[in-house]
Amino acid sequence: MDGQTHDTTVIKVDASSSSRGPDGLRHLASGRALAMRLWEDEEPGDMEPMHAHDYETVGYAIRGLAELHVEGQVAVLRPGDSWVVPPAARHAYRIRERFTALEATHPPYPVQGRDAV
């Protein structure tokens, strides 16, 4: 070892008690540098307004069909597809068929009422 103390803390978020955000968003585990969240059974509808975040998002489509609009580009998201939205990129999603996706954010997406690790 290099003489440094390494954090070996395990963090588990129980599915039955994980906090929920707007529109069915479920907050999953969150560490110092990375957070996970689940968009579960999102309903089809109009495209959300274009917006940007100060964090990077990496996503994986589990079920359904959606469009991701990023800076003039459109990516169709089907089960098994993955994507990256860079920090500060203006983007929006449009759900075409009931959609479930897992996302990770860096730095962690801020969750009100949850302390950072």
Distance CA 70, CA 68 (A): 6
Q: How many CA atoms lie within 13 A of 96 on its CB side?
A: 13
Question: Are the beta carbons of 38 and 102 closer than 8 angstroms?
Answer: yes
Residue 53 lies in a domain: yes
Select the more confidently predicted residue: 101 or 21.
Answer: 101
| Number of domains comprising the chain | 1
Residue 73 lies in a domain: yes
Residue 3 lies in a domain: no
Indicate which CATH number applies to the domain containing 94.
2.60.120.10
Residue 114 lies in a domain: no
Say what the pLDDT of residue 117 is.
Answer: 42
Residue 7 lies in a domain: no
Distance CA 20, CA 2 (A): 40
> How does pLDDT run across 22-65, given as a tens digit for each residue?
666 787 877 888 999 999 999 999 999 999 999 999 999 999 99
Q: Which domain, by its residues, includes 96? A: 28-106
Residue 117 lies in a domain: no
Q: Which two tokens stand for residue 44?
A: 């089809």
What is the pTM (predicted TM-score) of this model? 0.80
How many whole angstroms from its chain centre is CA 79?
A: 15
Average pLDDT over residues 74-97: 97
Residue 18 lies in a domain: no
Say what the pLDDT of residue 105 is.
Answer: 94
> Which amino acid type is present at position 26?
R
Phi, psi (deg, nearest 5) at residue 13: -110, 115
| Mean pLDDT taken over the chain | 85
